[in-house]
Amino acid sequence: MGENYIFEEIEEKCKEIITEEVNDLLVDKTFILSDCDFFIKKLTESIGQRLKENSDNFKYIINIIFLDNSNKGFTQNIGSVYDPDTDGVISLHFLFNKITCIVNLIVSSI
């Protein structure tokens, strides 16, 4: 079990975990709609497990979006904070050659 922290203390580690997991899974992948469910499940499980090992006093909501790199554009914003002193939101965008992955993480203290 991990130690108890506030969001500011684990934010960089959360970003590192997400980046490592996304890069490990998607680096050479192409956008194929039928593969997206598998990728989402795999990333959600691997990121979630590592986050839980990092600190057990948080709940995590992981939202993953995949886009085909076809120059059509996309923008998004996410926000959901219950207690700004302990909770937070992370949004990371990963642009690969043929697929874009956006990971939104809502971190809420227990």
What is the mean pLDDT, run by run of 10 residues, along the chain of 110 residues?
76 96 93 90 96 89 88 67 81 90 91
Q: How far is CA 38 from CA 7, 85, 103, in A?
A: 29, 35, 15
CA neighbours within 13 Å on the CB side: how many for 61? 11
Write down the pLDDT at residue 70: 77
- By C-alpha distance, which of 109, 110, 101, 106 is closest to 14? 106
Residue 16: how many other CB atoms lie within 10 Å: 12
Write down the pLDDT at residue 102: 92
Write down the pLDDT at residue 81: 65
Write down the pLDDT at residue 83: 80
Write down the pLDDT at residue 30: 86
pTM for this entry: 0.86
